[in-house]
Each structure stands twice: as C-alpha cells, then as structure tokens.
Amino acid sequence: MASGDNREAEINPSEVVASPFQSFLNDLHLKYQSLRDGKVATYIPELAKANPDLFGICAISLDGRVFEVGDCHQLFTIQSISKVFVYGMVLEDRGRDYVLSKVGVEPTGDAFNAIVLDERSKRPYNPMVNAGAIATTSLIKGAGPTERLNRMLDMFRRYIGHSDIFIDISVFMSERTTGHRNRAMAHLMHHFGMIDEKIDEAIDLYFQQCSLMVNCHDLAVMAATLANNGINPITGEQALDSSYVKDILSVMYTCGMYNFAGEWAYKVGLPAKSGVSGGIIVVVPNQIGIAVFSPLLDERGNSVRGVKVCEELSRHFGLHMFDLAMGRCKVVEMLSNPKKL
C-alpha cells in the first residue's frame, strides 16, 4: 500500500481558518494542481503505486491555528523526513559530541543515496543523506530491537500529537527486500567503525522509520513543533530538548534538500526536509510550520509542486531567514494580529 486510509473523519472543519493567508494557500493549490512535471518514486516498488494527483498544503501557527487546502489527511510514508526527528532523538540519547564523532554535518552536493563517506574521518557526511541517517538510527538507545522501535514510535507520537500512528508494512517490506544500496552503505560504515555489528537491526529500524504513516497535517504539526522550540503547539508536550532544536534546524538548512540545498537556501531560505513519498516540511522559526505533499518528484527526489509552493510562499510573505532577520517578514506582523492572517 503506497498511501493509506484517509483519516478524514477526524477533521474538525472549524479548525480550518478562513483568512488572507488561507486564501493565498488556496490560490497556490489551484495554480499548481495542473502542474504535472516530475515522476513518482519507483525505486521502492510500493511507492510506484502512489497517486500523482494528490496535493495538499498545510501550515500551523504556534498558537495552533491551522491553514490547509487539498489532500491534507491522506496518509503516506514519511520517508526521509523521519531523519530530522531521529537525529534529534539520538542527540538526546548520546549527546552532541558523540553523535558528531559518528555523523558529520557537511552538505555533500551528492544524491541522497550516494555511497560516499568523508575521505578523512570515514564518517557519513550528514544525518540527512541515507548513509548518515542509517548511522544516526543505529545510535538509538534500547535493550533490543523492540525497545528501540517503541522508543522511536513514542518520539514520533510526541511530535505528531496523537497516538494513532503505525508503520506501513508493505512499504517496509518493499524497501527491506530491495534496499541493497542502503545495506551496502551500512556494511561499509561498519567496516570503518561508524556503526556497530548490529547492521541488520539498524537497517530494519531505518526502513521502519521511513515507513511511518503520516499525513500532511501531521507533518505541519511536526514542523510547527520545531518552530516552537521543541514544544508541540497543539498538545503543549515537549517533543525534544529545546537545546537541540538549533542543531536540527542547522542541518536541515544546509543538507535537508540534498543536492538542491544551496538553491533552496538561496530562494526559500528556510530549514526544510523532503521525502521520496512527496512530503516537504519547512520550519519558519518562532513563527509557523509548513508541510506540502505531492508525490511527483524531480530528479533529486524533491516534490516538484512542493518546491514551487515553498518558493512562492517564501517570496510572497518574506519568509526567507534573512528577510526575517531584517524585519521584512509579513507573517510575523500577520501572526501578531490574528485578523490579518
């Protein structure tokens, strides 16, 4: 199953706010719905079944206001977006210095699945590419595979804010039986002492984290939690020690969009992370969390409509970090005056 059941029944329409910001999202959705560029991911066979028409945009402010349009309650697998949150968990589990000794923080300019380690240190370059994410996952603490999986699911529950989460077993098995590149990287990293001998367990846990089912609304809550310094704005629960939020946002900013990270930083200017199911999360620190879902991908594995939507949102509302820093962000003003947003 490439995308799961609809959690439509859970939506409370009164949570969706009508406003100028909402109108802008509606217009963006209308504008890009007809854009058919890109292809759904096929290298994981189950993902080839994704519906290319699906398209949702959701933004959640730190006071819990929800702005959404399109397919925001359609479930799909989180894929690489999970890497952000597992990185945070491992920073808490092991501390910054230890994690840094096993996984670097350098952008690669290579594809997300490149079989490459830093020549000198033998570390994977960063926690956002597959090699770095597998190494990160191998650092999750727990007495055995079940405890590590349960701790990881608990962590995701804190960000998502409800307990109705599960793993898509078909996507997990599909990746588990075809993910030879990832397996090869894990063995290479074990050879260089970057991951321990529990290679198959680490790989399974990595495939499980990638197969977690989420919808666009869930992703926006997760992004808003990072924007809110690690506190879920809907539940008020602390999902992550606030002192690690900056670490996560930094690697999202420099590495989250892979070999598009430089152009993304230039045009959109915000910490973000994409996944091959078509999700993108974007964090506007201290302001808002944004998620876009559309399975049609460009050649780097980023959602085509997702990138377009984020570029326009950033340009229109002055969301770029340096617009934000220079006081040119319109959302800051709008957020402080709810009637305007």
**Can you tell me the distance from the alpha carbon of 39 to that of 294, in angstroms, rounded to the nearest whole number?**
10
Strand ranges (DSSP E) for 164-260?
213-214
**CB proximity list for 4: less than 8 A, separation 6 or greater:** 75, 76, 168, 213
Closest CA to 293 of 86, 51, 62: 51
Q: Which of 32, 83, 99, 282 is catalytic?
A: 83
In this chain, which residue has its C-beta nearest to ligand DON? 80
What is the contact surface with ligand DON in residues (CB under 6 A)?
79-80, 112-113, 130, 175, 182, 210, 274-276, 301
Q: Determine whether 277 is an active site residue.
A: no
Q: Which of 66, 69, 84, 276 is catalytic?
A: 276
Is 258 annotated in the active site?
Answer: yes
Which of 61, 253, 258, 331 is the catalytic position? 258
Neighbours of 45 (CB within 10 A): 16
The residue among 196 and 299 lying less far from ligand DON, judged by its C-beta, is: 299
Q: What is the CA radius of gyration of the chain?
A: 19
Q: Give yes or no: 80 in active site.
A: yes
Smaller CB distance to ligand DON: residue 297 or 334? 297
Output 29 or 273, the one with its CB closest to ligand DON: 273
Distance in angstroms (rounded) separating the CA atoms of residues 276 and 83: 12
Q: Known catalytic residue: 276? A: yes
Q: Which residues contact 245 (CB under 8 A, 6 or more apart)?
A: 88, 226, 229, 230
Residue 131 CB, shortest distance to ligand DON, in Å, is 10
Residue 83 annotated among the catalytic residues of the structure: yes
- Provide the minimum distance between the beta carbon of 249 and ligand DON in the complex, in angstroms, as a whole number: 18
Closest CB to ligand DON among 107 and 301?
A: 301
Annotated catalytic residues are: 80, 83, 206, 258, 276
